[in-house]
Amino acid sequence: MVQNILKIFILILWYIVILDAGHSKNLAWNGGPLHLQCEYGTDLWMSSAYVKENVIAVKTVPYKDDIYVITPRMKPGVLATLWLIIRGKKGVELQPYPELRDHKLSDCNAIQNAVDFYLDHLGKLWVLDTGVIDTLANPRCTCPPKVVVINLLLGKLIKRIDISSLLEANSLLQNIVVEYGLGGKTFIYASDASRGAILVHEMSSGAGWSVVASGPASGLQIALVKRVAHTVLILVRLHYPGIIELDTTALRRQDSLTPLTVFGEHCKPVVLLGADGSHVYLRHIECSDVLVWNTHDAFNSSRLDNIHSAGPRMTTTAVAADPLKHELLVLDSNYQDTLQGNSPTYHKITFVSKN
């Protein structure tokens, strides 16, 4: 009897230690299970146009004990494009963030179509809003493109930055990162795949410019990486081999003849999934295995560490680091099946310990 009690005690203690070490329970859900703060609120009429099957999460980011996801408006019926994950008795639900009214269509103060976000060290979430909705069904522009800044501590939208003057008619916005430079200046970098350009906006002066960094592509992914003495952008052109490295000081100088470093130009094309300090997370375009590249080491696609496999018919779309819990959040889904049919997307967030 005493031995059984001791075993139970050890199991409970082990479970507590595992949770404290950041090995949280994985999260899974289908489509967009809706959670509204006020079930009978004035905005409830909007939920009548809600199509759960059209909600596809593509990005995730943790902050303190919360997790946020982005679901671009690729098809009609997506009620919001930025959500807070609610973990309740019914499982995972999605709550519009900060509020439902912050996603109202054709209200240019609201978020129209969030395609990417960047969390800084101050707890501010920088959201890239293209202003173009229903991109896979019937694309239409409802508002000019902008960057929306949300203070996660306050849970409020605190700033809107118009970037429409930096774009052309066929611009294709994809990623955003933010760098805090010397002298307190803040720089926003956004990728425009149609021109192979990086859009730069300096916050204090409001000045903006673009720097061509590569040839045009169907997608241009970027990540901010810390080197020993400087910061660089890592660029990946979708479906093209090679990883490009660009010193951000050249971007701040508005240098259109920026010197570039190219790695793995004879390797298979990769997809950029995220970055954390000096580590870049990616996968080969035809493979579901998540790989990590420590940028302090020379790039070699055949010697990258494998940290996660999405599984059959699943694709990893994002990797985000939680520094407080020393773990990675990996977002997998079968979104490709969804795009070919009408079934809701199966999503899974896996918590992976950092080595």
Answer whether residue 43 is part of any domain: yes
Q: What domain range is 156 assigned to?
A: 31-162
Answer whether residue 124 is part of any domain: yes
- Whole-number pLDDT of residue 39: 54
Answer whether residue 55 is part of any domain: yes
Answer whether residue 285 is part of any domain: no
- Whole-number pLDDT of residue 323: 86
Answer whether residue 126 is part of any domain: yes
Answer whether residue 274 is part of any domain: no
Answer whether residue 178 is part of any domain: no
- Whole-number pLDDT of residue 43: 53
- CA 19 – CA 265 distance, rounded (Å): 42
- Whole-number pLDDT of residue 10: 32
- CA 170 – CA 196 distance, rounded (Å): 12
Long-range contacts of 48-55 (CB under 8 A, 24+ apart): 49/76, 49/77, 49/79, 50/77, 50/78, 50/79, 51/75, 51/76, 51/77, 51/78, 52/344, 53/338, 53/342, 53/343, 53/344, 53/345, 54/78, 55/31, 55/79, 55/94, 55/344, 55/345
- Per the listing, tokens 């229903």 go with 134
- Whole-number pLDDT of residue 47: 52
61 phi, psi to nearest 5 deg: -150, 135
> Which residues, in sequence order, are CB contacts of 60 under 8 Å at separation 6+?
67, 68, 69, 70, 318, 320, 329, 331, 349
Cβ atoms of 315 and 346 closer than 8 Å: no
Cβ atoms of 70 and 115 closer than 8 Å: yes
- Whole-number pLDDT of residue 182: 78
- Whole-number pLDDT of residue 253: 85
**How many domains, in total, are found in the chain?**
1
- Per the listing, tokens 């950029």 go with 272
- CA 351 – CA 308 distance, rounded (Å): 10
Query: Half-sphere exposure of residue 139, counting CA atoms within 13 Å on the CB side?
Result: 8
- Whole-number pLDDT of residue 19: 37
Answer whether residue 313 is part of any domain: no
Low-confidence ranges of the chain (pLDDT < 70): 1-24, 38-48, 255-258
- Whole-number pLDDT of residue 257: 63
Amino acid at 13: L
How many residues belong to the chain? Answer: 355
What are the angstrom distances between the C-alpha of 179 and each of 75, 201, 225, 239?
A: 32, 11, 10, 27
- CA 109 – CA 143 distance, rounded (Å): 9
3-state secondary structure of 105: coil
- Residue 329's CB is within 10 A of a number of other CB atoms, namely 23
- Whole-number pLDDT of residue 228: 78
